Amino acid sequence: MLTVAVVVGLIVARWLARFLVALYGEATLGFNFDVGIDDRLLMYAAILGAVAFAAFAIAPVWVGSGDVDAISLNVASTRLKGTHSRLRSVTVVAQVALTIVVVTTGSLFVAALAHLRSIPLGLSSDRVITVQLAAVPGGYQRGFDGRTYYASLLSKIESIPSIQSAALSQVLPLSGSPGPVRVTVPDLNVEVDAVPALVSDAFFSTLQIPMVAGSSFSRSAGRAVPRTAIVSESLRAALFGADAGLHRMVRSGPANQNLQIIGVVRDAMIYGPRQSTPRVVYVNYWEASSATQSYPGLIIRLRGDAMSTFGRIEDAVHSFGREYVLQARSLPAVRDVALTQERLLAVVSTVFATVGLTLAAVGLYGLMSFAVAQRTGEIAIRKALGADNWAIARLISSEVTRLVVVGGLIGAAAASAAARLAHAVIVDKNLSIGFSPVVIALALLLLVAGAAVWVPTRRAANVDPMVALRAE
């Protein structure tokens, strides 16, 4: 059995290593991960396993192999008493409490991931792919003019029949939010925080973010002064109240540049569910300097299959000789990459919760089986005196029930504290799910405990008094 456990452990470890590489490989560009078994870690695990085996398997056998007199055997055969019984009880209580803590934490992380996935973004990601561009050596030199180059690149990409629309963005949507900037209205003495976005004209139609008022950017626009901007509905309301805000002047960014508002769009969490605010100030990409326009991302809405279209997009980029495709993903995949931390916490905590529930079931099953074996004579006498199966089941399960209740109460208190600590690593601090994780943990534990004690209890209830007494 020990050999089987070692083999299973190596298989599970290999699977978890591949899973983590796949999870982080999506979010990491240009890195190769070696998932081979490390000899040092393998040796450490082997030593730790040997110590645990010696402490929890060999030591009890060695202690129990001493001389035992008949009186001690007789006492042990009728009651679960003494130091070893108390130690077993404490172990079960601790195991139950720890299981509730682990399951509660796992439930909280899973709920946090589900909450982030369920937040409405205000945009459509279906049939949208993102392409991160990077310069070839010297690509942004040799008389590079960003406005002319990217206008030609977009025109060539939009000429591909399977592409519906294409736009440019300095930061890819759903990939993580930049820091907020201050947006002020000088003549009203109003200033609020907003998230900046440098985007081109087709950005809103590609992501299907509706225009509420005004117009979108113009691709033919030069580097005008003042520059033009489009704001989200919530930012317009914060700045101007009931006023539409069109053609009003604002100042934004570290340079406190002047911007003229030419349009208003619906609120959208363009940087993903962790975006700090729906207030967004969109700045015209075509009016930025060539240095600011470099290393952009393409956002492309498709009509057809993404895989067949990607090769043509790559050819279009390479044909200009200045950039290459660094990474291409669908927009839903970009969102998953942005939630890598939450996904990892949810998966790892779920694995630990599953292991904890399994160990709790094994422990309770072992304790019940031991209790039935030790009290077989007592059970036989009680049945011979007229006790029914239900009375025997209550007799056997009462001790385990007490241990589970005590462990559950301790675990619930500890789980509440652990949930508060776990909440500190959750990005969305507004997430509040009350006692749901603790209730889920208690329900799962009771279900597992009931399943674990069912077989030993049923075995005790079906003891044949004559056979048991003859064996005694």
Q: For residue 329, list its beta bridge partners.
A: 130
Decide which of 18 and 113 is more confident. Answer: 113
DSSP string, 229-260: EEEEHHHHHHHHTTS--TT-EEEETTTTEEEE
Decide which of 389 and 324 is more confident. Answer: 324
pLDDT tens for 373-425 read 776 677 777 767 777 777 777 777 777 788 888 888 888 888 888 877 776 66
Confidence band for 62, pLDDT divided at 50, 70 and 90: low
pLDDT, mean of residues 337-363: 82
Q: Which residues of 402-414 are buried (b: 16+ CB within 10 A; e: fewer)?
A: ebbebbbebbbeb
Tell me the domain boundaries of the chain. Answer: 1-56, 81-119+332-472, 137-321
pLDDT, mean of residues 202-226: 85
pLDDT at 273: 82
pLDDT at 430: 57
pTM here is 0.71
CA distances from 469 to 372, 377, 393, 460 (A): 14, 6, 19, 14
Residue 127 in this model has a pLDDT that exceeds 70 = yes
Share of the chain above pLDDT 70, in %: 77
Least confident window among 27-41, 312-326, 450-464: 27-41
Tell me phi and psi for residue 266, to 5 degrees: -65, 150
Residue 165 in this model has a pLDDT that exceeds 80 = yes
pLDDT at 87: 73
Residue 316 in this model has a pLDDT that exceeds 90 = yes
Count CA within 13 A, CB hemisphere, residue 303. 9
Confidence band for 73, pLDDT divided at 50, 70 and 90: very low
Least confident window among 273-277, 328-332, 467-471: 467-471
pLDDT tens for 226-270 read 889 999 999 999 998 877 788 899 998 777 788 999 999 999 999
Confidence band for 195, pLDDT divided at 50, 70 and 90: very high
